[in-house]
Amino acid sequence: YSYFEAKDYNQAILEFQTTIDNYPASTWPGESERLIAPLAQFYIGYCHAKLAQHSEAIVAYQLVIDNYYDSTWSDGRGVPPEAQFRIGDNYRALEFWPEARAAYQLVIDNYPGSTWWDGSSIPESAQYWITWIDENHPPS
């Protein structure tokens, strides 16, 4: 995590992947149920996005959804809703408008009550971007 905090995203990706590969069942200290690997996978996606490696970020975030569908942040919120939203963000960065819209729609469909760390609604954020895409990049 120190590489991540130092914004050395390439090295952080390697360290997060090493954690997943070598310690897939490790849990957070004092939390016997909450795995470390899902957050490592999430941060791999985040690092790829910071490096403008958007296709790699999408793959990394999808692995969170596929492999760690019941994973949580320390405050109990689900990790997959944010991963799904970030997939939309990365498709948007690539200007893949239909894919971005579909990814944001999955947030609304699959995670209707999900919230950001500050308590605001992830689906409302997704709806904002769906509306923006519909207004600025309508299907041809």
Q: Where are the domains of the chain?
A: 2-136
Q: What is the pLDDT of residue 4?
A: 93
Is there a contact between 33 and 52 (Cβ–Cβ < 8 Å)?
Answer: no
Distance CA 132, CA 94 (A): 15
Which residue stretches of 23-79 are H helix?
37-50, 54-67
DSSP code of residue 104: H
The predicted-structure confidence for 15-24, as pLDDT tens digits, reads as follows 999 999 999 9
On the question of pLDDT at 1 being above 90, the answer is no
Q: What is the overall mean pLDDT for the chain?
A: 96
On the question of pLDDT at 140 being above 80, the answer is no
Q: What is the pLDDT of residue 107?
A: 99
Confidence of residue 31 (pLDDT cuts 50, 70, 90): confident
Residue type, 125: S
Residue type, 91: Y
Distance CA 110, CA 133 (A): 20
Other C-beta atoms lying within 10 Å of the C-beta of residue 132:
15
Q: What is the pLDDT of residue 133?
A: 98
Is there a contact between 57 and 45 (Cβ–Cβ < 8 Å)?
Answer: yes
How much is the average pLDDT of 70-80?
95
Confidence of residue 139 (pLDDT cuts 50, 70, 90): confident
On the question of pLDDT at 125 being above 80, the answer is yes
pTM here?
A: 0.95
Q: What is the pLDDT of residue 76?
A: 94
Q: In CATH, what class is 2-136?
A: mainly alpha
